[in-house]
């Protein structure tokens, strides 16, 4: 018997003006599962991630979390979901430069109403799990790219979400720093039983996931190869637009 | 061929008998084919003949008597020379892979060639997943991680080439059919 999926997309469609980014994509993610969404630039993989995370509203189709539709909920409701059940990790630029590493990690808890002291303690615990507790009082600008990404991962996980959305999380890092982020990501999410959806165009990153969900020109590609050079240029612009909106 | 140098390296580390050499080789290069005893003794014979290793004595610790070999000073010098020589940057193309794609494009239709490449991509990805699991296992030693990295990066290069090939083939197919 298969357990009910934690998160599902059904026939998800999304266009940017006249440019279709997703042409009806269906995907299931089980509790604790790690799925890599792969494909070339402009295939729609970031758009899919943003639709599943409730950051973007699809033009058509359904997104359900624990069997309940979420895609038509208000921005406030989806925002609450992202603060409590979902964690999001982008390629770079997510930390508030004026706040210390620990304050950055404590931020989602404090936004959710947790007291300052308690949020700070939780932040330190997560920084320790990710091997960056010694940087707690530093500003993001003073630490390396890999350390910033581990801090962003701590921030995404501090609310103990059930799903972590990671969009090219190692795209801006050198190989070894990227690998350390992935090792940590894998270990802590498996410890917590958190499902992970990781968007990547790098096969070495995709190999960390138990399952690959390949996209090609806005559609699921069951062959898993993710080819498709047509409309590459226009799609690439579509993807840039998604990233800009997501920030 | 680097096998003689690898065995010589083990002997330079400390004297060993043939059985010990085989196990050192198999555990350092777990992704390679296990080394046959015949190859170990044949290689030891050549190293001895060339004055790079010598039979130092015998060891009978709880088993049959075994000859223990060690590296000679000349062997150590040869090893240093080998280590100091950079390898020719030869393309690490899996020749069977290239041969199959080339022949598929020659004698089969685009569909057949694409299917072959697609299946190959899936096999490469499956192997990369296995190697990544080895690499991320807490039981893995540094040498396991380094060996897995080597294989993963070469598979990744193959994969990028396979995907580009598939793009080129489908572009060609589209040009012909539109």
Structure tokens belonging to residue A72: 């038509």
B90 within a domain of the structure (yes/no)? no
For residues A65 and A87, the answer to whether their CB atoms sit within 8 Å is no
Q: Which residue has the tokens 């090792």?
A: A183
Q: Is residue B162 domain-shared with residue B128, that is, in the same domain?
A: yes
A232 — pLDDT class (breaks 50, 70, 90): very low
Domain residue ranges of chain A, discontinuous segments joined by +: 1-85+210-247
Which of B128, B166, B167 lies at the smallest CB-CB distance from A203? B128
Element (H, E) at A10: strand A7-16
Report which DSSP code applies to A56. S
What are the pLDDT digits (tens) for A3-33?
Answer: 689 999 999 999 999 899 999 999 999 999 9
Lowest-confidence region among A7-21, A100-114, B22-36: B22-36
Largest CA distance in chain A: 53
**What is the CB neighbour count within 10 angstroms for residue A17?**
7
pLDDT at residue B129, as a whole number: 92
Residues of A in contact with B170 (CB under 8 A): 227, 229
For residues A70 and A62, the answer to whether their CB atoms sit within 8 Å is no
Cβ contacts below 8 Å, chain A against chain B, sum to 50
Q: How far is B134 from chain A (nearest CA, A)?
A: 11
Mean pLDDT, range B64-68, rounded to an integer: 87
Q: Is residue B80 domain-shared with residue B109, that is, in the same domain?
A: no
pLDDT at residue A241, as a whole number: 39
- Give the CATH fold of the A1-85+210-247 domain: Rossmann fold (3.40.50)
Interchain pair A203, B129: CB under 8 A: no
Q: Is residue B115 domain-shared with residue B61, that is, in the same domain?
A: no
Mean pLDDT, range A110-121, rounded to an integer: 94
pLDDT at residue A236, as a whole number: 36
What are the pLDDT digits (tens) for B7-18?
Answer: 999 999 899 999
CA closest to A227 among chain B residues: B167
Report which DSSP code applies to A223. T
Q: How far is B171 from chain A (nearest CA, A)?
A: 8
* Percentage of the residues of chain A whose pLDDT score is greater than 70: 89
What are the pLDDT digits (tens) for A125-164?
Answer: 999 999 999 999 999 999 999 999 999 999 999 999 999 9
Interchain pair A206, B125: CB under 8 A: yes
Q: Is residue B100 domain-shared with residue B171, that is, in the same domain?
A: yes
Mean pLDDT, range A201-214, rounded to an integer: 92
Give dist(CA A51, CA A13) in Å, integer.
9
Closest CA to A227 of B116, B125, B170: B170
Residue A29, SS3? strand
What are the pLDDT digits (tens) for A182-195?
Answer: 999 998 899 889 99
Residues of B in contact with A226 (CB under 8 A): 163
Q: Is residue B144 domain-shared with residue B74, that is, in the same domain?
A: no
B89 within a domain of the structure (yes/no)? no
Which of A210, A212, A225 lies at the smallest CB-CB distance from B163? A225
Please check the confidence at residue A229 and state whether its pLDDT lies above 50: no
B25 within a domain of the structure (yes/no)? yes
**For an interface test with A, which of B134, B167, B168 has the most A Cβ atoms less than 10 Å from its Cβ?**
B167
Q: Which residues does B1 contact at the CB level (< 8 Å), separation at least 6?
A: none
pLDDT at residue A237, as a whole number: 36
Q: Is residue B27 domain-shared with residue B61, that is, in the same domain?
A: yes
Q: Is B129 on the interface with A (CB under 8 A)?
A: yes
What average pLDDT does chain A have? Answer: 87
B175 — pLDDT class (breaks 50, 70, 90): low
pLDDT at residue B173, as a whole number: 65
Residue B151, SS3? helix
A50 — pLDDT class (breaks 50, 70, 90): very high
pLDDT at residue A231, as a whole number: 33
Q: Which residue has the tokens 């404590």?
A: A106
Residues of B in contact with A34 (CB under 8 A): none
Write the CATH number for B71.
1.10.10.10
Give dist(CA A49, CA A91) in Å, integer.
13
CA closest to B121 among chain A residues: A225
Q: Is the pTM of this model over 0.90?
A: no
Structure tokens belonging to residue B131: 């190697």
Mean pLDDT, range A111-137, rounded to an integer: 95
Residues of A in contact with B111 (CB under 8 A): none
Q: Is B109 on the interface with A (CB under 8 A)?
A: no
* Percentage of the residues of chain B whose pLDDT score is greater than 70: 88
Structure tokens belonging to residue B123: 């096999």
DSSP string, A141-208: GGS-HHHHHHHHHHHHHTT--SEEEEESTTTTS-HHHHHHHHHHHHHHHHHHT-EEEEEES-HHHHTT
CA closest to B136 among chain A residues: A183
A166 — pLDDT class (breaks 50, 70, 90): very high
CA A208 to chain centre: 15
What are the pLDDT digits (tens) for B143-156?
Answer: 889 988 998 998 99
Please check the confidence at residue A239 and state whether its pLDDT lies above 60: no
Query: Total domain count for chain B?
Result: 2
Please check the confidence at residue A111 and state whether its pLDDT lies above 80: yes
Mean pLDDT, range A201-207, rounded to an integer: 92
Domain of B18?
3-84
Mean pLDDT, range B29-42, rounded to an integer: 83
pLDDT at residue A1, as a whole number: 44
pLDDT at residue B86, as a whole number: 77
Q: Is B157 on the interface with A (CB under 8 A)?
A: no
Mean pLDDT, range B74-101, rounded to an integer: 77
Q: Is residue B12 domain-shared with residue B71, that is, in the same domain?
A: yes
Residues of B in contact with A183 (CB under 8 A): 136
pLDDT at residue B90, as a whole number: 61
* Percentage of the residues of chain A whose pLDDT score is greater than 90: 70
A79 — pLDDT class (breaks 50, 70, 90): confident
What are the pLDDT digits (tens) for B99-153?
Answer: 777 777 766 777 777 888 888 888 889 899 999 998 888 888 888 899 889 989 9
Regarding beta strands A34-38 and A211-216, do their DSSP bridges make them parallel or antiparallel, or are they unpaired? parallel
What average pLDDT does chain B have? Answer: 84
Query: What is the ipTM, given to two decimal places?
Result: 0.75
Interchain pair A203, B117: CB under 8 A: no
Q: Is residue B79 domain-shared with residue B100, that is, in the same domain?
A: no
Alpha-helical segments (H) within chain B = 3-13, 18-28, 37-49, 73-84, 95-107, 110-136, 142-177
pLDDT at residue B30, as a whole number: 65
For residues A154 and A132, the answer to whether their CB atoms sit within 8 Å is yes
Interchain pair B121, A224: CB under 8 A: yes
Interchain pair B131, A207: CB under 8 A: yes
């Amino acid at each position: 018997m298969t357990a009910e999926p934690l998160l599902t997309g059904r026939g998800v469609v999304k266009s940017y003006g006249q440019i279709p980014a997703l042409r009806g994509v269906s995907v299931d993610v089980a509790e604790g599962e790690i799925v890599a969404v792969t494909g070339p630039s402009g295939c729609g993989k970031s758009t899919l991630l943003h639709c599943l995370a409730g950051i973007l509203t699809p033009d058509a189709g359904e997104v359900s979390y624990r069997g309940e539709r979420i895609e038509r909920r208000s921005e406030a409701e989806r925002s609450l979901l992202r603060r409590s059940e979902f964690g999001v990790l982008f390629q770079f630029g997510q930390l508030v430069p004026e706040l210390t590493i620990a304050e950055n990690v404590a931020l989602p808890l404090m936004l959710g109403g947790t007291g300052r002291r308690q949020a700070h303690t939780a932040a330190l615990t997560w920084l320790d799990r990710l091997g960056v507790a010694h940087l707690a009082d530093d500003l993001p600008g003073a630490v390396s790219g890999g350390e910033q990404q581990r801090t962003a991962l701590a921030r995404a996980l501090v609310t103990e979400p059930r799903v972590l959305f990671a969009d090219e999380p190692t795209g801006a890092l050198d190989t070894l720093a990227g690998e350390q982020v992935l090792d940590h990501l894998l270990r802590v999410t498996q410890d917590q039983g958190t499902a992970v959806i990781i968007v990547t165009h790098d096969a070495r990153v995709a190999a960390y996931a138990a399952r690959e969900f390949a996209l090609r020109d806005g559609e699921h590609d069951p062959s898993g190869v993710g080819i498709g050079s047509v409309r590459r240029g226009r799609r690439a612009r579509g993807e840039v637009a998604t990233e800009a909106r997501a920030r | 061929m680097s096998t003689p140098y690898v065995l010589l390296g083990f002997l330079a580390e400390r004297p060993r008998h043939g059985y010990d050499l085989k196990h050192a080789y198999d555990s350092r290069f777990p992704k390679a084919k296990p080394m046959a005893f015949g190859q170990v003794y044949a290689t030891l014979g050549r190293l001895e003949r060339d004055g790079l290793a010598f039979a130092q004595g015998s060891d009978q610790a709880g088993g049959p008597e075994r000859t223990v070999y060690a590296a000679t000073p000349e062997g150590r010098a040869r090893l240093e020379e080998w280590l100091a020589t950079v390898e020719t940057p030869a393309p690490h193309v899996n020749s069977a892979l290239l041969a199959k794609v080339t022949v598929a494009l020659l004698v089969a239709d685009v569909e057949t060639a694409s299917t072959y490449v697609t299946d190959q991509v899936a096999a490469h990805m499956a192997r990369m997943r296995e190697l990544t699991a080895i690499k991320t296992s807490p039981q893995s030693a540094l040498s396991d991680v380094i060996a897995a990295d080597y294989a993963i990066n070469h598979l990744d290069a193959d994969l990028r080439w396979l995907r580009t090939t598939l793009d080129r083939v489908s572009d060609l197919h589209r040009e012909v059919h539109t």
